[in-house]
A and B are shown apart, each in its own frame.
Chain A
Amino acid sequence: MTEIRFERISKRFGDRDILDDVCVSLVSGECQLLCGANGAGKSTLLRILAGMEAPNGCDVVDAGQTRRWRRVKANLLRDVIYLHQLPYLFAGTVAYNLNYPLRGSRATRAAQVRRGLEWSGLTALADQPVHQLSGGERQRVALARAWLRGPKIMLLDEPTTNMDQGCRRRTVELLASLKETGVALVVATHDTGHFADIGDRVLRLENAVLREESSGSTPYPEKVTPITARARTA
């Protein structure tokens, strides 16, 4: 089981504290739901965990070693995948996008692309230019592309915003499949109910502080696993 712990995360924009002494643990096969008001700092936290945005302070504990965030930034960029609220797809076809993170011979990559297409149910759209896809299809392409990269950790920023029920269900199914393969998931969302089937815990970011929602207020308390995050219990 992989566990990576981020301790004492702090981030400030100007005079405003966005994150103040926040701690998060990412455990393989666990899905954490991150909620909070608009502008609370959810995306900033995810981007720090992904190695994309430098915090003002943060220690990372990995394999028993504690190191400063900037020392592990390259590892984070390698091991963590961050999906934007509106995933960016490169100009070209669905197959081109799935091929993007792959390495190896042309035949190996083609076989992997086929696997990705089957996994995400996008085989029929393989040669479709991505600018012709719907929002839900774009999200599935982004998920399949991330899946092919074989990430240990995946951070998703509002992955089901503006999706209809069918698209949302398919997206959650794909996330469940990722979770089953041992990927540690953190999903920033306004509506934890959408992810009730896969969420193991709910974290709320408020006034720069991260708290785990008390079992009374979580929509599915029976699914909450023993605490591995050092999130403050409200």
Chain B
Amino acid sequence: MGSIGDSTLQALTLLFSGDRALWEIIGISFKVSLTALAIATPIALALAFLLAFGRFPGRRLLIAVFNTLLSFPAVVVGLTFYLLLSRQGPLGDLQLLFTQPAMVIGQIALALPILVAMGHAALQSVSRRAWETARTLGASVLGAVFTLVREARFALLGAILAGFGRIIAEVGASMMLGGNILHYTRNIPTAIALETSKGEFAQGIALGIVLLLMAFLLNGLLQFLQGKGRQVA
């Protein structure tokens, strides 16, 4: 095992030399996570809207459930869907286990609670007067919904970024549902886990740098959006 300095130097070389294997792993990570986010976001926003403005029995319970799911461990989500998708499971016939769609399903399950909880908070922060004003000014129900989403856009974008941050870096569900198959389901966190277990640190560090840079970028964006949100409030 080389020194940390040597490994870091090798990692940077891998990153900047455009190492194909490394960038393929990064590509798979982004493809899977962005697909999961694209599917989860509209569902989560609809749920968040219902929780923020709907009045129905069980609403408070549902809010509590989503808040509880926020701390649901990724590995338990992985286990749950592994049991559902495995050959003996109720969804075994779909033959999705160890595929990218299985990883997408797991990441949707992980992203939904954070998107719903943060989306609910974002929409709830918009005054009910916004809805009433839109309606009294002639907006249709759908038009009023779009108006509210526009009013809460910075906070909602913050929720989406937080959701993305949660799923791009999770290892448990991806490992169990994707199987860490090279060129297909190996993504950044599963590759880091594998390379570390093999004692090959260069690629792990390179991928770690990518995750760190992304976390920094996402947090910067979140801060910026939260600032913008406060500015227009």
A residues touching B (Cβ–Cβ < 8 Å)? 50, 52, 77-78, 80-82, 84, 86-88, 90-92, 100-101, 129, 131, 145-146, 149
A129-B232, A131-B232, A131-B233 known; A88 vs B130 contact (CB < 8 Å): yes
Q: A77-B136, A88-B127 are in contact. List 19 more A-B contacts (CB 8 A).
A: A50-B136, A52-B132, A52-B135, A52-B136, A77-B135, A80-B136, A81-B137, A82-B132, A82-B136, A87-B133, A88-B129, A88-B132, A91-B151, A100-B134, A100-B137, A101-B138, A129-B232, A131-B232, A146-B137
Partner of A84, one of B129, B147, B233: B129
- Check if B231 is an interface residue, CB within 8 A of chain A: yes
CB neighbours (8 Å) of A84 from chain B are: 129, 132-133
Partner of B138, one of A50, A87, A90, A149: A149
Report A79 CB to chain B, min CB distance, Å. Answer: 10
Query: Which positions 123-164 of chain B face chain A at CB distance < 8 Å?
Result: 127, 129-130, 132-138, 147, 150-151
The 6 closest A-B pairs by CB, nearest first: A88-B129, A91-B232, A101-B137, A88-B133, A82-B136, A84-B129
Contact across chains for B136 and A81 when beta carbons are under 8 A apart: yes
Report A113 CB to chain B, min CB distance, Å. Answer: 14
Q: How far is the CA of A100 from the CA of B135 in the complex (A)?
A: 11
14 A-B pairs (CB sep. < 8 Å): A52-B132, A78-B138, A88-B129, A88-B132, A90-B130, A90-B151, A91-B232, A91-B233, A92-B232, A100-B134, A100-B137, A101-B138, A131-B231, A146-B137
CB neighbours (8 Å) of B147 from chain A are: 90
Report A12 CB to chain B, min CB distance, Å. Answer: 17
B residues touching A (Cβ–Cβ < 8 Å)? 127, 129-130, 132-138, 147, 150-151, 231-233
Report B150 CB to chain A, min CB distance, Å. Answer: 7
CB neighbours (8 Å) of A129 from chain B are: 232
Q: Which of B135, B231, B233 gathers the greatest number of chain A CB atoms within 10 Å?
A: B135
CB neighbours (8 Å) of B151 from chain A are: 90-91
CB neighbours (8 Å) of B127 from chain A are: 88
CB neighbours (8 Å) of A100 from chain B are: 134, 137
Q: How far is the CA of A90 from the CA of B132 in the complex (A)?
A: 12
Q: How far is the CA of A131 from the CA of B230 in the complex (A)?
A: 10
Question: In this complex, what residue of B is CB-closest to A80?
Answer: B136
Report B136 CB to chain A, min CB distance, Å. Answer: 5
Question: In this complex, what residue of A is CB-closest to B130?
Answer: A88
Q: Which of B132, B134, B138 gathers the greatest number of chain A CB atoms within 10 Å?
A: B138
CB neighbours (8 Å) of A82 from chain B are: 132, 136
CB neighbours (8 Å) of A131 from chain B are: 231-233
A52-B135, A80-B136 known; A91 vs B129 contact (CB < 8 Å): no
Question: In this complex, what residue of B is CB-closest to A92?
Answer: B232
Report A34 CB to chain B, min CB distance, Å. Answer: 18
Q: How far is the CA of A84 from the CA of B137 in the complex (A)?
A: 13
Question: In this complex, what residue of B is CB-closest to A148?
Answer: B137
Question: In this complex, what residue of B is CB-closest to A85?
Answer: B129
Q: How far is the CA of A145 from the CA of B150 in the complex (A)?
A: 19
Report B225 CB to chain A, min CB distance, Å. Answer: 13
CB neighbours (8 Å) of B232 from chain A are: 91-92, 129, 131
Q: Which of A78, A86, A88 gathers the greatest number of chain B CB atoms within 10 Å?
A: A88
Report B218 CB to chain A, min CB distance, Å. Answer: 23
Contact across chains for B137 and A149 when beta carbons are under 8 A apart: yes
